[in-house]
């Protein structure tokens, strides 16, 4: 069991700066994120897109902003739990017991939800029956490529993941690549490589087609694909792989007894606390009159939530407001003074 003063859910810009604020005022924290990397939407959705409205930063990309925030955390020892989604938050007297889908358990008086629009999950095929085959013969990521050796694989998508796997698996499997249009958005070099393999007969390419149904008994046997002219083709296949990027889902947060309206959590504007004592929401996921979904608002909300955490984490101490320019205490924590 990990004991900490505050648990932050979400390693996007708001979560990162909230971690900074907690550590600065002398509280410990740990951070959980469902992605395999730090940065949230900034790193997953727009790493290369410039942002122009971070105060005192005229222009930076999502990736640069993330790197700067990580650098700002360097003086502190913060444990990140990536690739994990928080499933359960339960009250235990003065504390919350928080469990992730990997079985990590936290005991903390403060939970700060900095979850953006929810956790990133793979986008799925539209036919409902696909669920029956999921993780058996239908996947949204490749964990062990050996299982495809000597088999027929249908790969769907037009980005780098779909193309990379089509090229890679064509070495030892029969690959059918299916995409909704003729253009591919993957890297040019990979697109050319794929087209070369199509010419050599190593990859069968079906463009302007999408999946309409899957058939099989326990194990996938075939899939139907349909084009814009409503022509249907049946393709025998042992496996299907879908690469349609990620989508944000509120997920288990909906089950924690919080006041949720339109996928956002209601908070007060003093502590950014939810209707549950010791659970806060900051950044895009919180809602209050006048809420702006800007990164700078997330920073402000995180700073205030961090101060509110102090009260529950140190019930017998009084929080004193200090400036980093003058406070010996803070400068020590930042490693700038012995």
Partner 1 sequence: MAKITYITSDAKVHEIEVQNGLTVMEGAVQNDVPGIDADCGGGMACATCHVYVKEDWFNKLPKKEDGEEDMLDMAFEPKPNSRLSCQIIVSDDLDGLEVNIPSKQA
The residues binding partner 1 (CB under 8 A) are 41, 45-46, 49, 117, 123-124, 126, 157-159, 179-181, 183, 185, 210, 228, 244-245, 247-249, 263, 284, 293
Beta strand ranges found along 255-309 (DSSP E): 260-261, 264-266, 279-281, 286-287
DSSP state of 134: B
Pick 79 or 181: Cβ nearer partner 1: 181
- Provide the minimum distance between the beta carbon of 18 and partner 1 in the complex, in angstroms, as a whole number: 20
Pick 105 or 187: Cβ nearer partner 1: 187
Pick 245 or 335: Cβ nearer partner 1: 245
Pick 162 or 167: Cβ nearer partner 1: 162
Pick 167 or 295: Cβ nearer partner 1: 295
- Provide the minimum distance between the beta carbon of 162 and partner 1 in the complex, in angstroms, as a whole number: 9
Asked if 308 and 286 touch (Cβ cutoff 8 Å), the reply is no
Nearest 5°: phi and psi at 121?
-130, 155
105-108 vs 2-3, strand pairing mode: parallel
Question: Could you tell me the strand order of the sheet in which 29-32 lies?
Answer: 79-81, 29-32, 6-9, 111-113, 279-281
Q: How many CA atoms lie within 13 A of 297 on its CB side?
A: 17
79-81 vs 239-242, strand pairing mode: unpaired
Pick 7 or 163: Cβ nearer partner 1: 163
Rounded-to-integer distance, Cα 137 and Cα 211, Å: 15
Token pair listed for 142: 């490749």
Rounded-to-integer distance, Cα 154 and Cα 163, Å: 12
- Provide the minimum distance between the beta carbon of 246 and partner 1 in the complex, in angstroms, as a whole number: 9
Rounded-to-integer distance, Cα 14 and Cα 53, Å: 15
Pick 32 or 248: Cβ nearer partner 1: 248
- Provide the minimum distance between the beta carbon of 191 and partner 1 in the complex, in angstroms, as a whole number: 13
- Provide the minimum distance between the beta carbon of 244 and partner 1 in the complex, in angstroms, as a whole number: 5
- Provide the minimum distance between the beta carbon of 249 and partner 1 in the complex, in angstroms, as a whole number: 8
- Provide the minimum distance between the beta carbon of 124 and partner 1 in the complex, in angstroms, as a whole number: 8
Residue from 275, 283, 277 nearest 258 by CA: 275
Residue 225, classified by CB atoms within 10 Å of its CB into exposed (0-12), middle (13-18) or buried (19+), is buried
Residue from 193, 189, 211, 210 nearest 202 by CA: 193
- Provide the minimum distance between the beta carbon of 287 and partner 1 in the complex, in angstroms, as a whole number: 13
Rounded-to-integer distance, Cα 323 and Cα 273, Å: 24
Pick 62 or 302: Cβ nearer partner 1: 62
- Provide the minimum distance between the beta carbon of 317 and partner 1 in the complex, in angstroms, as a whole number: 39
Residue from 178, 243, 166 nearest 212 by CA: 178
Pick 166 or 248: Cβ nearer partner 1: 248
């Amino acid at each position: 069991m990990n004991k900490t003063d505050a648990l932050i859910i979400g390693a996007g810009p708001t979560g990162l700066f909230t971690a900074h604020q907690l550590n600065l005022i002398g509280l410990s924290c740990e951070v959980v994120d469902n992605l395999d990397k730090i940065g949230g939407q900034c790193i997953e959705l727009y790493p290369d897109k410039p942002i122009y409205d971070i105060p005192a930063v005229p222009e930076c990309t999502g990736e640069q902003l993330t790197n700067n925030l990580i650098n700002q955390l360097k003086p502190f020892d913060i444990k990140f739990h990536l690739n994990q989604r928080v499933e359960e938050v339960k009250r235990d007297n003065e504390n919350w017991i928080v469990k992730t889908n990997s079985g990590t358990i936290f005991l903390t008086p403060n939970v700060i939800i900095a979850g953006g629009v929810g956790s990133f999950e793979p986008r799925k095929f539209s036919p409902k029956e696909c669920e029956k085959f999921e993780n058996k013969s239908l996947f949204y990521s490749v964990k062990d490529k050996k299982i495809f050796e000597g088999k027929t694989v249908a790969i769907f998508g037009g980005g780098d993941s779909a193309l990379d796997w089509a090229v890679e698996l064509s070495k030892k499997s029969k690959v059918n690549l299916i995409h909704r249009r003729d253009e591919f958005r993957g890297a040019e070099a990979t697109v050319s490589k794929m087209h070369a393999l199509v010419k050599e007969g190593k990859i069968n390419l079906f463009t302007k087609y999408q999946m309409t149904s899957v058939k099989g008994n326990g194990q996938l046997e075939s899939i139907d694909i349909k084009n814009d002219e409503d022509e249907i083709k049946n393709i025998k296949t042992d496996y299907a792989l879908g690469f349609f990027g990620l989508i944000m889902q509120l997920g288990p947060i909906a089950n924690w007894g919080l006041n949720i309206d339109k996928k956002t959590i209601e908070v007060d504007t003093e502590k950014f606390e939810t209707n549950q004592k010791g659970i806060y929401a900051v950044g895009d996921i919180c809602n209050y009159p006048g809420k702006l979904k800007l990164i700078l608002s997330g920073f402000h909300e995180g700073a205030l939530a961090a101060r509110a955490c102090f009260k529950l984490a140190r019930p017998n101490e009084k929080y004193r407001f200090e400036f980093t320019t003058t406070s010996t205490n803070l400068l020590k924590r930042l490693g700038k003074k012995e």
